[in-house]
Every structure is written in structure tokens, then in C-alpha cells.
Amino acid sequence: MDNLIDISSYTTFNLPSKVKSITHFTGEENLEEFFAKNDNVFVLGGGSNIILSLDLSDKAVLKIENKDIEIVEQDENNITLRIAAGEIWDNVVSFACENNYSGIEAMSAIPGIAGATPVQNVGAYGEEIKDVLVSLEAYDRIEKKYVTILAEECDFSYRMSRFKKDWKDRFVITYITIKLSKGAPKIPIYKVVQDYFKNNKIENPSIMDIRNAIINVRWSKLPKPSELPNCGSFFENPIVDKVFAAKLQQEFKDLPLFPTDHEDMFKVPAGWLIEHAGLKGVSFGPVGTYEKNALVLVNHGGATQENVIHARDEIIKIVYHKFGIMLESEPEIIK
Ligand code: EPU
């Protein structure tokens, strides 16, 4: 018998993994003391974007669970909320929608905690956390003190921030502050969302109609982790230049391309590439692509990190062979 702790159920991919210890951060714990006592720390949020290895017996887990939503400022047009990192993100979205605060409704039903959203600049259906984030509070493991970081300092781009680059593993995010609007919500221009409104005869969608539409669309295309363990999109949508995009579209006539902030660069849907490489609903051992959305890898049962890495590498190889594009995986692989 070891004294290790199984943390598989804290993650949405449900891979077996054991760690040395787990500390639940509720906001009261002294992080300076915690880091002084534990040197190999792994900070766990909602567990919805990580692929764990079997043996993490050298690691002490700090699980972020502090909860609070506080109004810090408001006027006629806007409201600023300070949210504890451990709040379930969708509870934050639900709170905002119930009170008619707009700006995050299209990010409904995204798994995970609020404090994790800035790390990879979480986004869906035209909204990204970078567009509402004012600042965040964090514990700096290098300087050993609490700091406030402004959104402008985070260098956000598509699924990217400094927390994944030069700031990796440096900060423990404890609060985020976001500014929402009291005005009418923006209606997502995505066809699937528009179709939902049409089919349900909704002409002037309210913020709740938008939230319901997004929840509906998401769950029709993404597997529920409680039913089929997964961590959402497994690959990032690759960005290619216009010359390469034109060449691809000549060969693959229905390839969808989406604009980026840069006019010469286009986003190619990884899900389309995987599907058109013949890999939708295909399994490599216990791990496979979801039958309704090739962008998502699912655990059909009994998978380990090795199985996930094997499936990932096979998919990358086959897609590269067909399209000349090297996919990059989105979740963090913890070894
Ligand atoms: N597509 C296929 N086959 C597939 C999957 C998608 O052909 O198996 C095509 C679709 O038909 C569509 C295009 O790919 O033309 C884009 O699909 P979709 O609108 O579903 O968006 P996505 O690019 O696949 C991104 C995010 C999602 C987010 C949606 C909606 C990434 C990596 N993923 O997916 O985020 O919900 O847009 O905005 O950017 C997540 O990160 O976990 C996640 C679900």
C-alpha cells in the first residue's frame, strides 16, 4: 500500500494518476508557506485541459477551490466583477446572464474554473476572455508575493498568453476581474447558433436565449465528460499564410478558412482536417476521435497518458501526410 492519492476523478479525461499529496486552496491558505514546504507543485484547476501521467508520485497538488463573486464597480453601462479563481466558470456565466450582464454568454458551458480562463485565453463563438478581462491577482512563486497583473500585460492571442510562455508555472492565479456590459448582448454570427434561433422561432434573442442556444449547440457537438471523458478541443486550429491557404483551397475545394487578426493569415479548422484525413470516429486503442467532432479526443475506457500520446501522434502524422500541416495539441501534458 502506498499513501499516494489518485486524482483521476479531478480531471475530465479521467486518466489514472497518483500524486504525493493534495492541498485544497479555499483562499485562507498561506501560499508562501505552502511553496516553502513543497517544491514540486502542480496547480490543478477544473482538470478540463490536462493529460496526466500515471506516476506523479513526486508531485504535490494545489487544487484551486476559492469561491466568491463580488461587484467592485458599476455605472449605467458597465459592471466590474472580481471573481475567485476557483469559481466554476459556467456558474460565473450563469450569474452574469441571470443579471443581464453581457460579454461572456457565448462562453457558456465551457468546463473548468474561472482562474484558468486567462491561461489559454479561453474562447468560443466569437468571445474570448481577453475581451472582458481587466486584471487578475496571483501569487508570484519567484518573487514570493501577491501581485496584480493587468490584462494588457498578458500578451493574449488565439488560445495563448504569457502564462503559457515566459510566465509558465510562475503565477498561481487567485482572482480575475472582468468588466461586462449592461447593454444588449452581441448575437453570435455562427451559423449553428443562427440555425438554433431559426428552428426555435426566436427573433430577438435575449441573453438567456443566447446562453441556451450555446449550451444546446455545444452539447450537440461535444461529448459530456461525465458520459465520455474528454478535454474539449484536443488540437488548436492551425494558422497558415495566404499563399499556403490558397494552395490548400485549390486542392481541397470545401476547406473552410477563417480570418484572423492578421489579414494575411487564416485559421484552418483542425476538426475539418482530421475528419478529411479519414479520422473522424476512429480509435487508436482506448483513445479515439469523437464520432460527432473529430477535434475532440475521447477516452473510451481504461486509457493512460501513453495511449493519448500515441493517438495524438498518429493523428498529427496522418494529417501532416495529407495536408502538409503540423497540428499542435491544446491540453497540457503533465509528466
Ligand atoms: N469541422 C469538421 N469536422 C469536424 C469538426 C469540425 O469539418 O469533425 C468543421 C466545421 O464544420 C466547421 C469548422 O470545422 O466548418 C469549425 O468548427 P467549429 O465551429 O465547431 O469550431 P472549432 O474551430 O472546431 C473552436 C474552439 C472550440 C469552440 C468553438 C466554437 C478551438 C481549438 N476550438 O472549435 O473550443 O467551442 O470554436 O467557437 O479553437 C475547446 O477549446 O474545448 C472548444 C470546444
Torsion of the alpha carbons at 328, 260, 13 and 219, rounded to the nearest 10: -150
Cα four-point dihedral sign 203, 209, 210, 213: negative
Mean pLDDT to the nearest integer, 285-303: 98
Q: Give Cβ neighbours of residue 62 (< 8 Å, ≥ 6 apart).
A: 23, 25, 31, 34, 38, 41, 42, 43, 44, 172
Q: Is the CB of 232 under 6 A from ligand 1?
A: yes
Residue 34 in domain: yes
CATH number, domain containing residue 149: 3.30.465.10
Arithmetic mean of pLDDT over the chain: 97
Residue 111 in domain: yes
- Please choose, from the candidates 333, 230, 236, 222, the residue with its C-alpha nearest in 3D space to the C-alpha of residue 287: 230
Residue 59 in domain: yes
To which residue does cell 501577491 refer? 146
Tell which of 64, 80, 97 closes a domain: 64
| Entry pTM | 0.95
Q: How buried is 303 (Cβ within 10 angstroms: 0-12 exposed, 13-18 middle, 19+ buried)?
A: buried
DSSP 118-146: TTTT-EETTEEGGGTEEEEEEEETTTTEE
**High-pLDDT (> 90) share of the chain, %:** 99
Q: Is the CB of 301 under 6 A from ligand 1?
A: no
Residue 54 in domain: yes
Catalytic (active site) residue 32: no
What's the rounded Cα separation, in Å, for the pair 325 and 238?
Answer: 8
Does 102 lie in the same domain as 23?
Answer: no
| Position in ligand 1 atom list of the atom nearest CA 158 | 39
| Position in ligand 1 atom list of the atom nearest CA 222 | 44
Q: Is the CB of 312 under 6 A from ligand 1?
A: no
Does 53 lie in the same domain as 102?
Answer: no
- Please choose, from the candidates 81, 44, 186, the residue with its C-alpha nearest in 3D space to the C-alpha of residue 128: 186
What's the rounded Cα separation, in Å, for the pair 129 and 103?
Answer: 9
Does 177 lie in the same domain as 73?
Answer: yes
Pick the catalytic residue from 159, 162, 170, 218.
159
Least confident residue range of 19-23, 83-87, 259-263: 259-263
Residue 272's pLDDT is 98
Q: Are strands 41-44 and 55-64 parallel, antiparallel or unpaired?
A: parallel
Residue 1's pLDDT is 59
Contact 279, 315 (CB under 8 A): yes
Does 73 lie in the same domain as 58?
Answer: no
Residue 318 in domain: yes
Catalytic (active site) residue 53: no
pLDDT in tens, 214-265: 999 999 999 999 999 999 999 999 999 999 999 999 999 999 999 998 999 9
Tell which of 49, 64, 79 closes a domain: 64
Contact 314, 284 (CB under 8 A): yes
Does 267 lie in the same domain as 169?
Answer: no
Domain count, the chain: 3
- Mark out the alpha helices in the chain (DSSP H runs): 31-37, 89-98, 191-199, 207-221, 242-251, 270-276, 305-323
Residue 208 in domain: no
Residue 212 in domain: no
Pick the catalytic residue from 48, 233, 312, 329.
233
pLDDT in tens, 23-65: 999 999 999 999 999 989 999 999 999 999 999 999 999 999 9
CATH number, domain containing residue 241: 3.90.78.10
| Position in ligand 1 atom list of the atom nearest CA 236 | 32
CATH number, domain containing residue 27: 3.30.43.10
Residue 187 in domain: no
Q: Which residue range is the domain that position 160 belongs to?
A: 69-181
Does 138 lie in the same domain as 74?
Answer: yes
Ligand 1, atom 4, residue with closest C-alpha: 271
Ligand 1, atom 36, residue with closest C-alpha: 124
Residue 2's pLDDT is 78
Contact 118, 129 (CB under 8 A): yes
Catalytic (active site) residue 233: yes
Residue 321 DSSP label:
H
pLDDT in tens, 152-177: 999 999 999 999 999 999 999 999 99
Q: Is the CB of 281 under 6 A from ligand 1?
A: no
